[in-house]
């Protein structure tokens, strides 16, 4: 049980790191067409996240792989039950890669504009869906224990509290639409607004000129909205769905981080405001995991069907091997992440960006498709 709790804490930290880091990537993507008024500003906007976005996604891979290894029953239940929203998130992440990498390949404004719209949509969709998925973990999904061979539902009074049943598994038996409730939709609004304000705050400290000033104004407006909506949702979660008094602690710290971020932004301390907002998002994630503990998949059908830490955990030997691996490799990952942000800490000036530089001319694309035609000349 001690190892299971420890790995639950580690997974919480990984998800907090991912959503705090990837959050400003999504926010910048959502604001790409709004704050970027011309090609110079849009290119500067993308350059701001250029050195970081793919590294930030490593946290997602690590968090998902860790759930798979440490809590396989949790992984199987969650990723099969929330298959549609998680698949949509994955597709958007893939499309966003194409948008960022392919945008500069052809020197055509229409080409770049199309990929900018793809990038924007691919940032909006995950920003909402992440909140919906995590809100479902707090609220509970329609989970039942089902016999693998027959598909029959095991009666709730026959489900043990601290172990799994041989030949049966926890399954989400509700439909995709059962995941959409006022509470979970508000959760989607929380992550969307938090990422928007996070992205604006990041652009404020990473760019110069009018783009930075517009980002500053946007971060202040969005910060007020995101803080208010987050507080309402978190109080709803705590008072209605959380059985833990401990979850009041990260809730209070999240509110403190977001409100002090607003105060720092008002007095012109952009870097401090971003750091406090970063901490605010991290504590929101910690609150979510604390609020749903000791369950990893809470059942809205019957509490007896809820999947607990003890039931979902791998064998102690597996958890010990994983712990040794993370002790060895995690410091290197953290050191590299900090180093990369330090190296690329300078501001980007849109006025110094050449909007006509880079990419093949559209006519060369057509010519290169027929290389044999050039050989004869």
Which of residues 157 and 370 earns the better pLDDT score? Answer: 157
Q: Is the pLDDT score of 367 beyond 70?
A: no
| Rg of the chain over all Cα atoms, to the nearest angstrom | 23
Q: In angstroms, how far is the first alpha carbon of the chain from the final one?
A: 74
**Is there a contact between 159 and 165 (Cβ–Cβ < 8 Å)?**
yes
**Is there a contact between 305 and 145 (Cβ–Cβ < 8 Å)?**
yes
The 3-state secondary structure of the chain, one letter per residue: CHHHHHHHHHHHHHHHHHHHHHHHHHHHHHHHHHHCCCHHHHHHHHHHHCCCHHHHHHHHHHHHHHHHHHCHHHHHHHHHHCHHHHHHHHHHHHHHHHHHHHHHHECCHHHHHHHHHHHHHHHHHHHHHHHHHHHHHHHCECEEEEECCCCCECCHHHCCCCCCCCCEEEEECCCHHHHCCHHHHHHHHHHHHHHHHHHHHHHHHHECHHHHHHHHHHHHHHHHHHHHHHHHHHHHHHHHHCCCCCCHHHHHHHHHHHHHHHHHHHCCCHHHHHHHHHHHHHHHHHHHHHHHCCEEECECCCHHHCEEHHHHCCCHHHHHHHHHHHHHHHHHHHHHHHHHHHHCCCCECHHHCCCCCCCECHHHHHHHCCHHHHHCC
Q: Closest Cα partner for 355 from 34, 38, 114, 31?
A: 38
Other CB atoms within 10 Å distance of the CB of residue 13: 17
Q: Closest Cα partner for 122 from 146, 92, 154?
A: 92
| Orientation angle between helical segments 182-206 and 39-49, nearest 10 degrees | 100
Query: pTM (2 decimals)?
Result: 0.92
Share of the chain above pLDDT 70, in %: 97
**Is there a contact between 299 and 143 (Cβ–Cβ < 8 Å)?**
yes
> Residue 32 and residue 358: Cα distance in Å, rounded?
19
Q: Max CA-CA distance within the chain? A: 82
Q: Closest Cα partner for 66 from 290, 282, 321?
A: 321
Distances (CA, A) of 329 to 57, 62, 322: 17, 12, 11
Question: In this predicted model, what pLDDT tens digit does every residue of 77-121 receive, in sequence order?
Answer: 999 999 999 999 999 999 999 999 999 998 888 999 999 999 999
**Is there a contact between 293 and 306 (Cβ–Cβ < 8 Å)?**
no
- Kindly indicate the confidence band of residue 375, based on its pLDDT and cuts at 50, 70 and 90: very low
pLDDT recorded at residue 63? 93
Which of residues 326 and 1 earns the better pLDDT score? Answer: 326
List, in order, residues 6 or more apart from 204 with CB less than 8 Å away.
212, 215, 216, 219, 270, 273, 274
pLDDT recorded at residue 329? 87
pLDDT recorded at residue 330? 87
CATH 1.20.1630.10 applies to domain 2-140+175-345:
yes
pLDDT recorded at residue 185? 97
pLDDT recorded at residue 377? 39
Q: Is the pLDDT score of 363 beyond 50?
A: yes
- What average pLDDT score do residues 133-148 get? 93
> Residue 139 and residue 188: Cα distance in Å, rounded?
13
């Amino acid at each position: 049980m001690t190892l299971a709790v420890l790995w639950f804490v580690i997974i919480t930290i990984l998800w907090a790191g991912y959503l705090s880091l990837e959050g400003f990537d999504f926010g910048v993507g959502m604001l790409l067409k709004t704050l970027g008024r011309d090609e110079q500003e849009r290119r500067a906007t993308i350059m701001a996240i250029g050195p970081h976005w793919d590294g930030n996604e490593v946290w997602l891979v690590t968090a998902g792989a860790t759930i798979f290894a440490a809590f396989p029953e949790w992984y199987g239940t969650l990723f099969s039950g929330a298959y549609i929203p998680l698949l949509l998130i994955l597709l958007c992440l893939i499309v966003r890669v194409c948008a960022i990498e392919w945008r500069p390949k052809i020197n055509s404004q229409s080409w770049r504009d199309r990929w900018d719209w793809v990038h924007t949509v691919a940032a909006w969709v995950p920003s909402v869906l992440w909140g919906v998925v995590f809100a479902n973990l707090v609220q509970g999904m329609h989970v039942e224990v089902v016999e693998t061979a027959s598909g029959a539902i095991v009666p709730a009074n026959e489900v043990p509290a601290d172990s799994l049943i041989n030949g049966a598994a926890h399954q989400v038996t509700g439909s995709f639409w059962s995941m959409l409730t006022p509470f979970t939709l508000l959760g989607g609004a929380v992550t969307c607004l938090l990422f928007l304000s996070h992205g604006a705050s990041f652009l404020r400290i990473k760019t110069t000129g009018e783009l930075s000033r517009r980002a500053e104004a946007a971060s202040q407006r969005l910060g007020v909205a995101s803080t208010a909506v987050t507080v309402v949702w978190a109080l709803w979660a705590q008072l209605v769905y959380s059985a833990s008094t401990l979850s009041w602690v990260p809730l209070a710290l999240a509110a403190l981080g977001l409100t002090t971020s607003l105060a720092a932004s008002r007095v012109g301390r952009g870097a401090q405001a971003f750091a406090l907002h970063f901490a605010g998002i991290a504590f929101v994630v910690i609150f979510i995991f604390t609020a749903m503990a000791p369950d990893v998949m809470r059942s809205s059908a019957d509490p007896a069907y809820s999947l607990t830490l003890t039931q979902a955990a791998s064998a102690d030997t597996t958890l010990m091997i994983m712990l040794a691996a993370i002790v060895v490799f995690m410091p290197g990952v953290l050191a590299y992440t900090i180093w990369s942000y330090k190296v690329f800490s300078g501001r980007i000036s849109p006025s110094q960006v050449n909007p006509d530089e880079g990419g093949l001319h559209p006519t060369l694309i057509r010519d290169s498709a027929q290389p044999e035609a050039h050989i004869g000349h």
